[in-house]
Structure 1
Amino acid sequence: MNNRTWLITGVSSGFGYELTRQLLEKGDNVIGTVRDKSKVKDLMERHPETFTCEILDVTDVPAIHQLVDHSFGKFGRIDVIVSNAGYGLFGAAEELTDEQVNHILATNLTGSIQLIRSALPHLRNQGGGRMIQLSSYGGQVAFPGNSMYHATKFGIEGFCESVAQEVAPFNIGITIVEPGGARTEFRYESARVANLMPEYEGNPAHGFLSMLDASNGLAPGDPVRMAARIIESVDKEPAPLRMMLGSQALTNTISRLEARIADYERQTELAASTDFPAGE
Protein backbone atom coordinates (compact mmCIF):
# COMPACT_ATOMS: atom_id res chain seq x y z
CA MET A 1 0.00 0.00 0.00
CA ASN A 2 0.98 3.66 -0.21
CA ASN A 3 3.27 5.07 2.44
CA ARG A 4 1.47 6.32 5.51
CA THR A 5 1.75 9.59 7.40
CA TRP A 6 2.09 9.34 11.19
CA LEU A 7 1.91 11.91 13.98
CA ILE A 8 3.83 10.73 17.05
CA THR A 9 4.35 12.60 20.31
CA GLY A 10 7.55 12.28 22.32
CA VAL A 11 9.96 10.99 19.67
CA SER A 12 13.23 12.06 21.29
CA SER A 13 13.76 8.73 23.06
CA GLY A 14 12.29 5.34 23.89
CA PHE A 15 9.43 3.91 21.87
CA GLY A 16 8.75 7.24 20.17
CA TYR A 17 12.26 7.41 18.75
CA GLU A 18 12.32 3.75 17.73
CA LEU A 19 8.93 3.95 16.03
CA THR A 20 10.03 7.04 14.14
CA ARG A 21 13.34 5.50 13.09
CA GLN A 22 11.72 2.35 11.74
CA LEU A 23 8.92 4.21 9.95
CA LEU A 24 11.31 6.63 8.26
CA GLU A 25 13.56 3.79 7.13
CA LYS A 26 10.63 2.10 5.39
CA GLY A 27 9.62 5.33 3.67
CA ASP A 28 6.69 6.58 5.73
CA ASN A 29 6.21 10.22 6.68
CA VAL A 30 6.44 11.14 10.36
CA ILE A 31 5.46 14.31 12.17
CA GLY A 32 7.27 13.88 15.47
CA THR A 33 7.04 16.11 18.52
CA VAL A 34 9.86 16.85 20.94
CA ARG A 35 10.77 19.47 23.49
CA ASP A 36 14.37 19.64 22.24
CA LYS A 37 15.14 19.16 18.54
CA SER A 38 18.81 18.45 19.21
CA LYS A 39 17.84 14.99 20.44
CA VAL A 40 16.59 13.97 16.99
CA LYS A 41 19.19 15.79 14.91
CA ASP A 42 20.26 12.48 13.37
CA LEU A 43 16.74 11.75 12.11
CA MET A 44 16.35 15.28 10.77
CA GLU A 45 19.61 15.00 8.83
CA ARG A 46 18.95 11.52 7.41
CA HIS A 47 15.32 12.08 6.47
CA PRO A 48 14.83 15.77 5.63
CA GLU A 49 12.01 15.04 3.18
CA THR A 50 9.92 12.69 5.32
CA PHE A 51 10.54 13.76 8.91
CA THR A 52 8.85 16.88 10.23
CA CYS A 53 10.01 17.74 13.74
CA GLU A 54 7.74 19.95 15.85
CA ILE A 55 8.22 21.42 19.32
CA LEU A 56 5.42 20.47 21.72
CA ASP A 57 4.91 20.35 25.46
CA VAL A 58 1.89 18.07 25.87
CA THR A 59 0.90 19.87 29.08
CA ASP A 60 0.05 22.89 26.89
CA VAL A 61 -3.47 22.05 25.71
CA PRO A 62 -3.91 24.97 23.28
CA ALA A 63 -0.57 24.02 21.69
CA ILE A 64 -1.84 20.44 21.18
CA HIS A 65 -4.93 21.71 19.35
CA GLN A 66 -2.84 24.07 17.25
CA LEU A 67 -0.29 21.40 16.30
CA VAL A 68 -2.93 18.86 15.29
CA ASP A 69 -4.89 21.38 13.22
CA HIS A 70 -1.71 22.66 11.55
CA SER A 71 -0.46 19.14 10.77
CA PHE A 72 -3.69 17.99 9.15
CA GLY A 73 -3.85 21.26 7.24
CA LYS A 74 -0.32 20.82 5.95
CA PHE A 75 -0.43 17.12 5.05
CA GLY A 76 -4.10 16.81 4.15
CA ARG A 77 -4.31 13.32 5.62
CA ILE A 78 -2.71 11.70 8.65
CA ASP A 79 -3.21 7.96 8.82
CA VAL A 80 -2.02 7.17 12.34
CA ILE A 81 -1.85 9.20 15.56
CA VAL A 82 0.47 7.81 18.24
CA SER A 83 0.06 9.24 21.74
CA ASN A 84 3.40 8.29 23.22
CA ALA A 85 4.71 11.21 25.32
CA GLY A 86 4.87 10.38 29.01
CA TYR A 87 7.14 9.44 31.90
CA GLY A 88 7.32 7.42 35.10
CA LEU A 89 7.13 8.89 38.59
CA PHE A 90 8.19 6.72 41.50
CA GLY A 91 7.65 7.11 45.23
CA ALA A 92 4.99 6.52 47.86
CA ALA A 93 1.90 8.70 47.46
CA GLU A 94 2.81 10.60 50.61
CA GLU A 95 6.28 11.37 49.26
CA LEU A 96 5.03 13.15 46.13
CA THR A 97 4.59 16.90 45.94
CA ASP A 98 1.45 18.56 44.61
CA GLU A 99 3.48 19.81 41.67
CA GLN A 100 4.67 16.29 40.82
CA VAL A 101 1.11 14.95 41.00
CA ASN A 102 -0.29 17.71 38.81
CA HIS A 103 2.50 17.46 36.24
CA ILE A 104 2.25 13.72 35.62
CA LEU A 105 -1.53 13.99 35.32
CA ALA A 106 -1.15 16.84 32.83
CA THR A 107 1.46 14.94 30.81
CA ASN A 108 0.38 11.29 30.82
CA LEU A 109 -3.39 11.65 31.14
CA THR A 110 -4.70 15.08 30.11
CA GLY A 111 -2.16 15.46 27.32
CA SER A 112 -3.11 12.09 25.84
CA ILE A 113 -6.84 12.81 26.14
CA GLN A 114 -6.50 16.17 24.43
CA LEU A 115 -4.37 14.79 21.61
CA ILE A 116 -7.00 12.18 20.84
CA ARG A 117 -9.86 14.68 21.12
CA SER A 118 -8.03 17.08 18.79
CA ALA A 119 -7.49 14.41 16.15
CA LEU A 120 -11.00 12.94 16.14
CA PRO A 121 -12.78 15.51 13.94
CA HIS A 122 -9.99 15.33 11.36
CA LEU A 123 -10.02 11.53 11.28
CA ARG A 124 -13.79 11.55 11.02
CA ASN A 125 -13.74 14.03 8.14
CA GLN A 126 -11.15 12.02 6.20
CA GLY A 127 -13.18 8.84 6.56
CA GLY A 128 -11.19 7.01 9.21
CA GLY A 129 -7.75 6.34 10.59
CA ARG A 130 -5.97 4.73 13.48
CA MET A 131 -5.00 5.98 16.94
CA ILE A 132 -2.45 4.22 19.12
CA GLN A 133 -2.20 5.01 22.81
CA LEU A 134 0.98 3.95 24.59
CA SER A 135 -0.02 2.68 27.99
CA SER A 136 1.73 -0.02 30.01
CA TYR A 137 0.88 -3.27 31.68
CA GLY A 138 0.83 -0.83 34.58
CA GLY A 139 -2.57 0.14 33.16
CA GLN A 140 -3.83 -3.25 34.37
CA VAL A 141 -1.51 -4.16 37.25
CA ALA A 142 -0.57 -1.81 40.09
CA PHE A 143 2.55 -1.97 42.21
CA PRO A 144 3.47 0.00 45.34
CA GLY A 145 5.55 3.12 44.87
CA ASN A 146 4.03 3.96 41.49
CA SER A 147 0.55 5.18 42.37
CA MET A 148 0.39 8.29 40.18
CA TYR A 149 1.80 6.54 37.12
CA HIS A 150 -0.84 3.85 37.55
CA ALA A 151 -3.51 6.52 38.00
CA THR A 152 -2.63 7.97 34.60
CA LYS A 153 -2.46 4.61 32.82
CA PHE A 154 -5.61 3.13 34.36
CA GLY A 155 -7.30 6.43 33.49
CA ILE A 156 -6.21 6.64 29.85
CA GLU A 157 -7.16 3.01 29.27
CA GLY A 158 -10.71 3.65 30.46
CA PHE A 159 -10.92 6.75 28.28
CA CYS A 160 -9.67 4.92 25.19
CA GLU A 161 -11.91 1.89 25.70
CA SER A 162 -14.94 4.17 25.82
CA VAL A 163 -13.89 6.35 22.89
CA ALA A 164 -13.07 3.30 20.76
CA GLN A 165 -16.74 2.33 20.90
CA GLU A 166 -17.85 5.88 20.05
CA VAL A 167 -15.71 6.21 16.94
CA ALA A 168 -15.79 2.70 15.48
CA PRO A 169 -18.78 3.66 13.27
CA PHE A 170 -16.53 6.30 11.66
CA ASN A 171 -13.90 3.71 10.69
CA ILE A 172 -11.55 5.00 13.39
CA GLY A 173 -9.70 2.32 15.32
CA ILE A 174 -8.01 2.75 18.70
CA THR A 175 -5.34 0.42 20.06
CA ILE A 176 -4.02 0.55 23.63
CA VAL A 177 -0.43 -0.73 23.75
CA GLU A 178 0.65 -2.26 27.06
CA PRO A 179 4.42 -2.88 27.05
CA GLY A 180 6.19 -4.63 29.87
CA GLY A 181 9.61 -3.60 31.07
CA ALA A 182 11.85 -2.56 28.17
CA ARG A 183 15.42 -1.40 27.81
CA THR A 184 14.60 2.24 27.16
CA GLU A 185 15.43 5.56 28.78
CA PHE A 186 12.00 5.44 30.44
CA ARG A 187 13.28 3.05 33.08
CA TYR A 188 16.98 3.79 33.28
CA GLU A 189 17.37 7.51 32.56
CA SER A 190 14.14 9.53 32.45
CA ALA A 191 12.34 8.05 35.46
CA ARG A 192 11.60 10.62 38.14
CA VAL A 193 11.82 9.77 41.82
CA ALA A 194 10.20 11.57 44.76
CA ASN A 195 12.14 12.87 47.73
CA LEU A 196 12.15 9.63 49.69
CA MET A 197 11.10 9.66 53.34
CA PRO A 198 12.98 7.60 55.94
CA GLU A 199 9.63 6.40 57.28
CA TYR A 200 9.23 4.32 54.11
CA GLU A 201 12.65 2.61 54.24
CA GLY A 202 12.11 -1.13 54.01
CA ASN A 203 8.53 -0.50 52.86
CA PRO A 204 7.19 -2.11 49.64
CA ALA A 205 6.81 1.44 48.30
CA HIS A 206 10.57 1.60 47.78
CA GLY A 207 10.85 -1.71 45.95
CA PHE A 208 11.15 0.20 42.68
CA LEU A 209 14.70 1.25 43.59
CA SER A 210 15.93 -2.25 42.77
CA MET A 211 14.10 -2.20 39.43
CA LEU A 212 15.69 1.11 38.41
CA ASP A 213 19.20 -0.19 39.15
CA ALA A 214 20.47 -1.74 35.91
CA SER A 215 23.11 -3.67 37.86
CA ASN A 216 20.27 -5.88 39.15
CA GLY A 217 19.52 -7.07 35.62
CA LEU A 218 18.12 -5.38 32.54
CA ALA A 219 14.45 -5.39 31.56
CA PRO A 220 13.53 -8.25 29.19
CA GLY A 221 11.73 -6.16 26.57
CA ASP A 222 13.45 -5.26 23.28
CA PRO A 223 12.22 -1.81 22.17
CA VAL A 224 13.14 -2.56 18.54
CA ARG A 225 10.91 -5.63 18.42
CA MET A 226 8.18 -3.88 20.40
CA ALA A 227 8.13 -0.94 18.00
CA ALA A 228 7.92 -3.33 15.04
CA ARG A 229 4.86 -5.07 16.54
CA ILE A 230 3.18 -1.70 17.12
CA ILE A 231 3.75 -0.70 13.48
CA GLU A 232 2.42 -4.04 12.26
CA SER A 233 -0.78 -3.60 14.29
CA VAL A 234 -1.95 -0.83 11.97
CA ASP A 235 -2.51 -3.42 9.23
CA LYS A 236 -4.83 -5.49 11.42
CA GLU A 237 -8.58 -5.15 10.91
CA PRO A 238 -10.41 -4.52 13.07
CA ALA A 239 -7.96 -2.60 15.22
CA PRO A 240 -6.96 -4.65 18.28
CA LEU A 241 -8.22 -2.82 21.36
CA ARG A 242 -5.24 -3.93 23.45
CA MET A 243 -1.76 -5.23 22.68
CA MET A 244 0.36 -6.68 25.47
CA LEU A 245 4.08 -6.65 24.64
CA GLY A 246 6.34 -8.86 26.73
CA SER A 247 5.81 -12.41 28.00
CA GLN A 248 6.53 -11.44 31.62
CA ALA A 249 4.01 -8.62 31.45
CA LEU A 250 1.37 -10.91 29.95
CA THR A 251 1.88 -13.57 32.63
CA ASN A 252 1.66 -11.02 35.45
CA THR A 253 -1.41 -9.38 33.95
CA ILE A 254 -3.31 -12.63 33.47
CA SER A 255 -2.49 -13.63 37.04
CA ARG A 256 -3.75 -10.31 38.42
CA LEU A 257 -6.92 -10.39 36.32
CA GLU A 258 -7.70 -13.96 37.36
CA ALA A 259 -7.33 -12.96 41.02
CA ARG A 260 -9.60 -9.96 40.43
CA ILE A 261 -12.28 -12.11 38.77
CA ALA A 262 -12.12 -14.64 41.61
CA ASP A 263 -12.59 -11.84 44.13
CA TYR A 264 -15.66 -10.56 42.27
CA GLU A 265 -17.13 -14.06 42.00
CA ARG A 266 -16.92 -14.42 45.78
CA GLN A 267 -19.17 -11.36 46.04
CA THR A 268 -22.15 -12.84 44.16
CA GLU A 269 -24.42 -12.99 47.21
CA LEU A 270 -23.29 -9.57 48.47
CA ALA A 271 -24.00 -7.92 45.10
CA ALA A 272 -27.43 -9.55 44.82
CA SER A 273 -28.37 -8.54 48.36
CA THR A 274 -28.59 -4.89 47.31
CA ASP A 275 -31.14 -5.46 44.51
CA PHE A 276 -34.88 -4.96 44.90
CA PRO A 277 -36.56 -8.36 45.26
CA ALA A 278 -37.86 -9.81 41.98
CA GLY A 279 -41.13 -8.27 40.92
CA GLU A 280 -40.80 -5.11 43.01
Structure 2
Amino acid sequence: MAKTEIRWFLQGTTASVTCGTKGIDQAIVEELARLGATVHTCVRNESELNECLKKWKILKLNLSGSVCDISSRSKREKLMDTVSSLFQGKLDILINNAGKGLFKGALNSIEEDYSTITATNLESGFHLSQIAHPLLKASGGGSIVFIYSIARIVAFPASTIYSATKVDVNSLSKSCNC
Protein backbone atom coordinates (compact mmCIF):
# COMPACT_ATOMS: atom_id res chain seq x y z
CA MET A 1 0.00 0.00 0.00
CA ALA A 2 1.35 3.41 -0.95
CA LYS A 3 1.92 5.97 1.75
CA THR A 4 -0.64 8.78 1.60
CA GLU A 5 0.90 12.22 1.32
CA ILE A 6 -0.56 14.71 3.77
CA ARG A 7 -0.72 18.09 2.08
CA TRP A 8 -2.22 20.05 4.95
CA PHE A 9 -3.25 19.70 8.54
CA LEU A 10 -5.28 21.48 11.20
CA GLN A 11 -3.16 20.70 14.25
CA GLY A 12 -3.84 23.24 16.99
CA THR A 13 -7.05 24.58 15.46
CA THR A 14 -10.57 24.46 16.87
CA ALA A 15 -13.81 23.81 15.02
CA SER A 16 -17.50 23.87 15.82
CA VAL A 17 -19.82 21.93 13.50
CA THR A 18 -23.58 21.94 13.82
CA CYS A 19 -25.18 18.54 13.29
CA GLY A 20 -22.28 16.11 12.98
CA THR A 21 -23.44 12.59 13.70
CA LYS A 22 -24.78 11.17 10.41
CA GLY A 23 -23.60 10.69 6.85
CA ILE A 24 -21.66 13.56 5.30
CA ASP A 25 -22.13 15.56 8.51
CA GLN A 26 -20.28 12.90 10.50
CA ALA A 27 -17.59 12.63 7.81
CA ILE A 28 -16.92 16.38 8.07
CA VAL A 29 -16.51 16.18 11.85
CA GLU A 30 -14.27 13.13 11.69
CA GLU A 31 -12.07 14.49 8.90
CA LEU A 32 -11.49 17.76 10.76
CA ALA A 33 -10.42 15.73 13.81
CA ARG A 34 -8.21 13.41 11.72
CA LEU A 35 -6.47 16.48 10.33
CA GLY A 36 -5.71 17.58 13.89
CA ALA A 37 -8.49 19.99 14.82
CA THR A 38 -10.19 19.86 18.19
CA VAL A 39 -13.86 19.63 17.25
CA HIS A 40 -17.15 20.24 19.04
CA THR A 41 -20.41 19.26 17.39
CA CYS A 42 -24.02 19.50 18.42
CA VAL A 43 -27.17 17.57 17.56
CA ARG A 44 -30.75 17.37 18.76
CA ASN A 45 -30.69 13.64 19.53
CA GLU A 46 -28.81 12.77 22.74
CA SER A 47 -28.64 9.01 22.19
CA GLU A 48 -27.28 9.52 18.66
CA LEU A 49 -24.65 11.90 20.06
CA ASN A 50 -23.64 9.48 22.83
CA GLU A 51 -23.24 6.68 20.30
CA CYS A 52 -20.91 8.82 18.18
CA LEU A 53 -18.95 10.05 21.20
CA LYS A 54 -18.24 6.42 22.17
CA LYS A 55 -17.08 5.65 18.64
CA TRP A 56 -14.87 8.75 18.48
CA LYS A 57 -13.28 7.90 21.83
CA ILE A 58 -12.37 4.43 20.52
CA LEU A 59 -10.93 6.06 17.37
CA LYS A 60 -8.99 8.49 19.60
CA LEU A 61 -10.44 11.50 17.79
CA ASN A 62 -10.38 14.80 19.64
CA LEU A 63 -14.14 15.39 19.52
CA SER A 64 -16.75 16.58 21.98
CA GLY A 65 -20.43 17.16 21.58
CA SER A 66 -23.53 18.58 23.15
CA VAL A 67 -27.26 18.42 22.65
CA CYS A 68 -28.66 21.52 21.01
CA ASP A 69 -31.76 22.30 18.98
CA ILE A 70 -30.31 25.04 16.84
CA SER A 71 -33.74 26.29 15.85
CA SER A 72 -33.80 27.90 19.32
CA ARG A 73 -32.00 31.23 19.71
CA SER A 74 -31.31 30.71 23.43
CA LYS A 75 -29.91 27.22 22.79
CA ARG A 76 -27.60 28.58 20.07
CA GLU A 77 -26.32 31.14 22.58
CA LYS A 78 -25.74 28.37 25.12
CA LEU A 79 -23.90 26.36 22.44
CA MET A 80 -21.51 29.24 21.74
CA ASP A 81 -20.96 29.67 25.49
CA THR A 82 -19.98 25.99 25.61
CA VAL A 83 -17.68 26.36 22.60
CA SER A 84 -16.08 29.45 24.11
CA SER A 85 -15.47 27.64 27.38
CA LEU A 86 -14.04 24.54 25.68
CA PHE A 87 -11.74 26.51 23.37
CA GLN A 88 -10.64 29.26 25.80
CA GLY A 89 -12.57 32.02 24.01
CA LYS A 90 -11.23 31.21 20.54
CA LEU A 91 -12.61 29.44 17.50
CA ASP A 92 -10.88 28.85 14.17
CA ILE A 93 -13.65 27.21 12.13
CA LEU A 94 -17.44 27.43 12.33
CA ILE A 95 -19.32 25.05 10.05
CA ASN A 96 -23.02 25.84 9.74
CA ASN A 97 -24.10 22.43 8.63
CA ALA A 98 -27.42 21.67 10.27
CA GLY A 99 -30.49 21.49 8.13
CA LYS A 100 -33.99 20.19 8.46
CA GLY A 101 -35.93 18.80 5.55
CA LEU A 102 -39.62 19.21 4.98
CA PHE A 103 -41.26 17.39 2.17
CA LYS A 104 -44.56 19.14 1.62
CA GLY A 105 -45.73 21.20 -1.30
CA ALA A 106 -46.43 24.89 -0.91
CA LEU A 107 -50.19 24.43 -0.57
CA ASN A 108 -49.80 21.81 2.17
CA SER A 109 -47.31 23.77 4.29
CA ILE A 110 -48.42 25.66 7.34
CA GLU A 111 -46.97 28.67 9.13
CA GLU A 112 -45.28 26.47 11.75
CA ASP A 113 -43.50 24.52 8.97
CA TYR A 114 -42.13 27.76 7.56
CA SER A 115 -40.97 29.02 10.96
CA THR A 116 -39.30 25.75 11.97
CA ILE A 117 -37.46 25.18 8.68
CA THR A 118 -36.38 28.81 8.39
CA ALA A 119 -35.13 28.90 12.00
CA THR A 120 -33.15 25.69 11.53
CA ASN A 121 -31.79 26.11 8.01
CA LEU A 122 -31.25 29.85 7.71
CA GLU A 123 -31.61 31.83 10.94
CA SER A 124 -29.34 29.46 12.90
CA GLY A 125 -26.37 29.92 10.57
CA PHE A 126 -26.77 33.68 10.53
CA HIS A 127 -27.09 33.94 14.31
CA LEU A 128 -24.28 31.46 15.04
CA SER A 129 -22.00 33.40 12.70
CA GLN A 130 -22.81 36.61 14.57
CA ILE A 131 -22.22 35.20 18.05
CA ALA A 132 -19.13 33.23 16.96
CA HIS A 133 -17.52 36.34 15.46
CA PRO A 134 -15.73 37.42 18.68
CA LEU A 135 -14.32 33.89 19.06
CA LEU A 136 -13.20 33.79 15.44
CA LYS A 137 -11.63 37.22 15.77
CA ALA A 138 -9.83 36.16 18.97
CA SER A 139 -8.25 33.27 17.06
CA GLY A 140 -6.65 35.76 14.68
CA GLY A 141 -8.91 35.10 11.73
CA GLY A 142 -11.17 32.14 11.40
CA SER A 143 -13.41 30.66 8.75
CA ILE A 144 -17.16 30.27 8.49
CA VAL A 145 -18.47 27.56 6.21
CA PHE A 146 -22.10 27.21 5.18
CA ILE A 147 -23.27 23.82 3.92
CA TYR A 148 -26.27 23.83 1.65
CA SER A 149 -27.98 21.51 -0.77
CA ILE A 150 -28.57 20.85 -4.44
CA ALA A 151 -32.09 22.07 -3.60
CA ARG A 152 -30.73 25.61 -4.00
CA ILE A 153 -30.41 24.93 -7.76
CA VAL A 154 -32.91 22.19 -8.57
CA ALA A 155 -36.61 22.58 -7.82
CA PHE A 156 -38.33 19.68 -6.10
CA PRO A 157 -42.14 19.71 -5.94
CA ALA A 158 -42.38 18.62 -2.30
CA SER A 159 -39.70 20.83 -0.77
CA THR A 160 -40.75 24.41 -1.36
CA ILE A 161 -39.73 25.86 2.02
CA TYR A 162 -36.59 23.71 2.30
CA SER A 163 -35.41 24.77 -1.16
CA ALA A 164 -36.08 28.43 -0.44
CA THR A 165 -33.96 28.30 2.72
CA LYS A 166 -31.08 26.66 0.84
CA VAL A 167 -31.14 29.43 -1.78
CA ASP A 168 -31.09 31.93 1.07
CA VAL A 169 -28.16 30.16 2.78
CA ASN A 170 -26.19 30.44 -0.47
CA SER A 171 -26.90 34.16 -0.64
CA LEU A 172 -26.15 34.57 3.09
CA SER A 173 -22.74 32.92 2.72
CA LYS A 174 -21.83 35.19 -0.19
CA SER A 175 -22.96 38.30 1.69
CA CYS A 176 -21.14 37.31 4.89
CA ASN A 177 -18.00 36.81 2.82
CA CYS A 178 -18.12 40.48 1.85
TM-score per shorter chain, which class? 0.7 to 0.9
* 1:54 Cα offset (Å): 0.8
Instruction: Please give the residue correspondences for 1:21-32 in structure 2 after superposition, counting only pairs within 5 Å.
Output: 21-32=30-41
The 3 A distance-change label for structure 1 pair 66 and 42 is closer
* 1:12 Cα offset (Å): 2.4
Q: 4+ runs of 1 displaced by more than 6 Å?
A: none
Q: Determine what percentage of the aligned residue pairs are the same residue.
A: 27
The 3 A distance-change label for structure 1 pair 125 and 25 is closer
**Match of 2:86?**
74
Q: Give the Cα separation in 2 of the matches to 1:26 and 1:125.
A: 22
| Aligned: 1:92 with 2:92 | no
Query: Does the 8 Å contact 1:43/1:51 carry over to 2?
Result: no
**Match of 2:124?**
111
Aligned partner of 1:150 among 146, 163, 172? 163
Aligned partner of 1:38 among 35, 47, 58? 47
The 3 A distance-change label for structure 1 pair 47 and 9 is same
| Aligned: 1:101 with 2:114 | yes
Query: Does the 8 Å contact 2:91/2:138 carry over to 1?
Result: no
- Over the residues paired in the alignment, what is the CA RMSD in angstroms? 2.0
Instruction: Please give the residue correspondences for 1:149-228 in structure 2 after superposition, counting only pairs within 5 Å.
Output: 149-165=162-178
Query: Does the 8 Å contact 1:37/1:53 carry over to 2?
Result: no
- Once the two structures are superposed, what CA deviation does each residue of 1:99-137 show, in whole Å capped at 9, x if it has no partner? 212111111111121111111122123321111111112
Q: Give the Cα separation in 1 of the matches to 2:35 and 2:54.
A: 16
Q: Give the Cα separation in 1 of the matches to 2:35 and 2:55.
A: 13
* 1:157 Cα offset (Å): 1.6
Q: Give the Cα separation in 2 of the matches to 1:10 and 1:37.
A: 12
Q: Give the Cα separation in 2 of the matches to 1:47 and 1:28.
A: 13
Structure 1: gaps spanning 5 or more residues: 166-280
The 3 A distance-change label for structure 1 pair 156 and 17 is same
Which letter does structure 2 place at the counterpart of 1:129? G
TM-score of the superposed pair, with normalisation by structure 1: 0.54
Question: Which is higher, the Rg of structure 1 or of structure 2?
Answer: 1
Structure 2: gaps spanning 5 or more residues: 1-8
Query: Does the 8 Å contact 2:41/2:65 carry over to 1?
Result: yes
**Match of 1:15?**
24
Q: Give the Cα separation in 1 of the matches to 2:78 and 2:51.
A: 26
Aligned partner of 1:121 among 130, 134, 146? 134
| Aligned: 1:63 with 2:72 | no
- Count matched residues: 165
Q: Give the Cα separation in 2 of the matches to 1:4 and 1:43.
A: 21
- Once the two structures are superposed, what CA deviation does each residue of 1:57-85 show, in whole Å capped at 9, x if it has no partner? 01111221222133123312321111111
SS at match of 1:101: helix
* 1:28 Cα offset (Å): 2.7
* 1:26 Cα offset (Å): 4.1
Query: Does the 8 Å contact 1:24/1:47 carry over to 2?
Result: no
Which letter does structure 1 place at the counterpart of 2:43? V
The 3 A distance-change label for structure 1 pair 46 and 147 is closer
Which letter does structure 2 place at the counterpart of 1:54? S
Which letter does structure 2 place at the counterpart of 1:140? I
Q: Give the Cα separation in 2 of the matches to 1:161 and 1:54.
A: 29
**Match of 2:146?**
133
